Each structure stands twice: as structure tokens, then as C-alpha cells.
A and B are shown apart, each in its own frame.
Chain A
Amino acid sequence: ETGVTQSPTHLIKTRGQQVTLRCSSQSGHNTVSWYQQALGQGPQFIFQYYREEENGRGNFPPRFSGLQFPNYSSELNVNALELDDSALYLCASSLEQGATGELFFGEGSRLTVL
């Protein structure tokens, strides 16, 4: 059983650029959630995808968007990057939408915006 994998692990962008982060969910999991973890803080919910549709969103602007593919993998896209977008972006997969019994996290993608 493969766990949640994310890529890239680290990346550096400049303000105004766009970034795409990728996540492969754990085998058998059809729901993917994305979280942003700023330095010294707990993770904050960005959004969740279930069956290729956004299924709930946290307090993040529209320049944060995502996709989920038929194989349940997912992308997080951030446009017009700002310095405050520097953070660890965590992907988590679970068995079904709304299920919060167990959420499995990847190692994260660390984004630095200069």
C-alpha cells in the first residue's frame, strides 16, 4: 500500500509567479484535502476534492485553485504568488468525503516566495 506522495519537495518562486504542486493519494482513497502550514503554525485547511470536484473550501482567496484527476491524484495551483504564500503545503487523503476518521498526510511541498 503506497502512502501519500507529494512533489516537488522544495521549490523557490518569485512574487507574482504561479506554482503547481502535486499529490498522489493513498491507494484506495478517493478524497484529497490540501492544507497550508506557515512557519511555526498549525496547518490550515485550503480545500477538499472528492470525485474531481471541489467539496469545501477554507478561508483562502480564489488564486488558490485545485484539480482532482480520475485516479484521485490532485494538484494545487497558486497564482500571483505573494510573500505570505511561503509555507509547507500538505496534502492529505481519506477514504471518503466528510470522513474524518483517518487522514493520511504526505511529507509536504515547501514553497519559498522571494
Chain B
Amino acid sequence: GEDVEQSLFLSVREGDSSVINCTYTDSSSTYLYWYKQEPGAGLQLLTYIFSNMDMKQDQRLTVLLNKKDKHLSLRIADTQTGDSAIYFCAESMRSGNTGKLIFGQGTTLQVKP
């Protein structure tokens, strides 16, 4: 089935690292994504990782992929108050010629000053 699971809430102090976790079900997913959504706004693509990679680093963001366990994580170093938002994990699914994303329910990150 199609299912992406995330924990709903994470609270950290400014300057600490944040780790948001996600599990997915489709082992044939070719890409896995992290999107950020601020209140009242659309989705901003933060980063994505190909399924044949274990890790991807982009400035303060580190994505780790454990394909065996179907586990994806997003680490934000030196978390700032501006990082407060909802973070969505998504896996790609391809059916014929259609590519679509399956999203988790989102993790609300609260950063305390």
C-alpha cells in the first residue's frame, strides 16, 4: 500500500540540531523528498535524495536514507526560529506514465528561542 508515516511534533531549542524522521512503504520509490510549509503558504522543496544514495548534505540540511528499513531522516543543524514550520516527507510513485508524490501527514517543528 501507499503510506508515509511521520511523527507529528518536534520541539527544539534554537541552536540545537533537529532530526525529523519518516518511514515509507514503496521500495520502488526512486526519489524521496523533504518539503517545508510555513503557515498559510504552499510547499517549498527543501531537498531530495535518489534512492541509490545513503546520504545527501546541503548546507545545514543532512538527509539520511536507510533503504533496507525504508527510513528517511532530515537533520537540520543549528536550528533557527525561522525553521519553525511543518515538514513533509514524500515518496515518489510511478504508475505507467504518471509520477505522483505520496506525502506523510507532516511534522510540526517548533523552535524555542
Q: Which residues of A contact B (CB under 8 A)?
A: 33, 35, 40-45, 48, 50, 55-56, 58, 88, 90, 92, 94, 97-108
Contact = CB atoms under 8 A, between A and B. Distances in A.
Given A58-B100, A103-B45, 16 more contacts: A40-B105, A42-B4, A42-B90, A48-B100, A56-B98, A56-B100, A92-B43, A97-B98, A98-B94, A99-B99, A100-B92, A100-B101, A101-B48, A102-B45, A107-B42, A108-B42
Interface in B1-28: 4
Interface string B23-60: 00000001101010000011111001000000000000
Interface of B: 4, 30-31, 33, 35, 41-45, 48, 88, 90, 92, 94-106
Contact of A45 (B31, B43, B100): B100
Contacts of A108: 41-42
Contacts of B96: 56, 98
Contacts, number: 72
B102 A45 contact: yes
B1 to A, nearest CB: 12
Counting chain B CB atoms within 10 Å of each CB, which of A45, A88, A90, A97 scores highest? Answer: A45
The residue among A44, A55, A92, A103 with the most chain B CB atoms within 10 A of its own CB is A103
A36 to B, nearest CB: 11
A65 to B, nearest CB: 16
A97 B105 CA distance: 25
A101 B31 contact: yes
A48 B99 contact: yes
A102 B103 contact: no
Contacts of A101: 31, 48
Contacts of B4: 42
A106 B42 contact: yes
Nearest to B42: A107
A74 to B, nearest CB: 15
